[in-house]
Structure 1
Amino acid sequence: FEETSVIAAPTAKDDENLVTRPPVVTVMGHVDHGKTSLLDAIRKKRVAAGEAGGITQHIGAYSVPVGDRGTVTFLDTPGHAAFTSMRARGAKVTDIVVLVVAADDGVMPQTEEAIQHAKAAGVPIIVAVNKIDRPDANADRVMQELTKFELLPEAWGGDTMYISTSATQETGISELLDGILLQAEVLELKANPKRSAVGVVVEAQLDRGRGPVATILVKDGTLRRGEAVVVGTCSGKIRAMMDDTGAAFNEAGPSAAMEITGLDSVPEAGDVLNVVESGEAARDVAAHRAGTKRAADQAGGNAMSLDDLMRRIEGAAVLELRIVLKADVQGSVEAVKASLLKLSTDEVKVNIIYGGVGAIKESDIMLAAVDD
């Protein structure tokens, strides 16, 4: 089975139809440095107020109109240490990183981590020195601390843009948006709205009323309601498309962030969406991928090292804690899984036998009981 026979690759003709697309911006930084509040100020919505403990739980994607100058799509990545993998994923789909650093707190561990993710992805960084209204705010100290990461301010002869902001006072927001649009012009971001859509899953979850729901960032082409799509090992026809405000759309162009329904199962964050000719073609590709993945998993699961064999023979097997993990969205599954696996020791090994999205079902309990 050849996927290329179903999924169209870009052609020279696609290059002829290239137009400027909006930038995709990921907001990163240390926990509680004001990332979501800064986005909140940009969007004029109270997103931060609805989040548990003021810490972002899941990646949110928002397209924000900037007057008559176009649109900017923002990804709000979680700042808590347990969500490292989600932040890394955010950097892979982004054009520009806005690094938020609190002026009264300075560079912290997750600030360094965010810089490493951005640099690994080859993404330009704009520094937002936030909470500049605080009495103990010190923007110069922040700039000094960041120079060791080769983020030399333009004012000091470098090429990194530094913008002082206050999310609560809503100051510096216009300057930040101007800086983003200026950087986007330099990058010359292009896409072809006339080709079949290609997108990336930012987040996915199982909704009790709507079924599998995926937040898609359209990378290229135009995504339309009713089209057959294949997303990783999932397939379906797009039943509905909505933005972060809940407004319904019939189509979405490059760099748009949309929540879609109509898939047969919950895709994984980072999965690529491709439009195909029919629902049957989508199911064929999804089934082929699922079979390939299953075969790879089985091949990996059957492997046993000589040390494992000796331990079993000697009856001195390492104690194993087997866990069935369920969470509300795929990003949380990945983050909790990574944290649990770090707890393994020489005496006790943590083994995640299953990680999935949705409520705990009878089949999950049976799986845990059988594998005990």
Structure 2
Amino acid sequence: MTAQQGLAGHPNTAESPIERESPVSVSRVSAIGAIALTGVLALSACASENPAPAGNTAGGGTGAVNSDCFEGDLKAEGSSAQKNAIDEAISAYQTACADANIDYQPSGSGAGIKQFIAKQVDFAGSDSALKTEEKDGIVESVEAKNSCGSDAWNLPMVTGPIAIAYNVKGVDKLVLNADVAAKIFDGKITSWDDAAIAELNQGVTLPSTPIKVYFRSDESGTTENFTKYLKAAAPEAWTHETGKKWTGKGEGKEKSAGVATATQGQDGAITYVEWSYAQQNQLAMAAIDTGAGPVELSAESAGKTVATAEQTGTGNDLALKIDYATKEAGAYPIVLVTYEIVCSKYADAETGKKVKSFLKSFASDEVQGSLTSQGYAPLPAEVATKVEAAIDAIS
């Protein structure tokens, strides 16, 4: 397995925070099941959004760990998967630094990267690293470097597994595998009592309710990571290309909050969404059978997959790649990491100082530890060390 790559970096946008139950309970060092990094940085790729009060300050936060406060505005945009996490980090920073105004818009990873390249935001959040190969006529890493006037770096900051969340009356437990999931999301399996689903759920009474698939209508890193899983683990069933734009079947809804809310309100519904959103909306989540038995989503099970991630970026570009086809016992395979995409050297030195100051706080033990209450896992120590070194190198 190898890792994703990327670059990025410039100014403008935001939103607000939310509170919710924590599906995770892990400390930083043992985050996501004591993630190992064997000579390479380990972490997983990808992410979503959640509603929150206006003004972009997360409820409840921790005090910012960074005493080097900046004054003025900092704008960012992108991944909705990390919205609840970055809202928490923003609240922590602004609690300690009252003259700082950080605005993050959870517009989706694709939109965030475009805004970053267009110099409309100071940094971008993305559930996948910048592309190093041409797609849709551009090479993201090259465009970001040109925009920055310096190398752009992918800095993993938020770990968030992707749940296959569903709402089917009378079905509290569900097992799926990649093949069946691919056929559901491609419209080939259309009823909950289909024989393929029943085979994986013996002893469960499955209704004949029609399956209603909801997907992200916006360009999404969560979509990209989910389709990477389907493509890697069920290549015969999922023949579509992977990417931020959905190519399967179903009805589109904007952002993570959109698909989660739609699923919550529709009997027979199914979607792919970040763990934090599934938790917040009290959605049931399927256990995934990779061939070694059903695995429920947890910090530990996601960590087993994350631990196999490899770094593909070089130096302070910490792009990663996940083994979505892992068959390791007890490993939950659908995971992602959200990157903050930054310029290594900002054209405006003051902007660089602002980005550096906020990300130092975001990567700190205190703020990372607080993310468990938001449905995320803190960066493991080995990853945090590399991230902190890269942040220190921003100018």
TM-score, length of structure 1 as denominator length: 0.26
Of structures 1 and 2, the one with the larger relative CO (CA 8 A, separation 6+) is: 2
Q: Could you tell me the TM-score, scaled by structure 2's length?
A: 0.25
The structure whose Rg is larger is 1
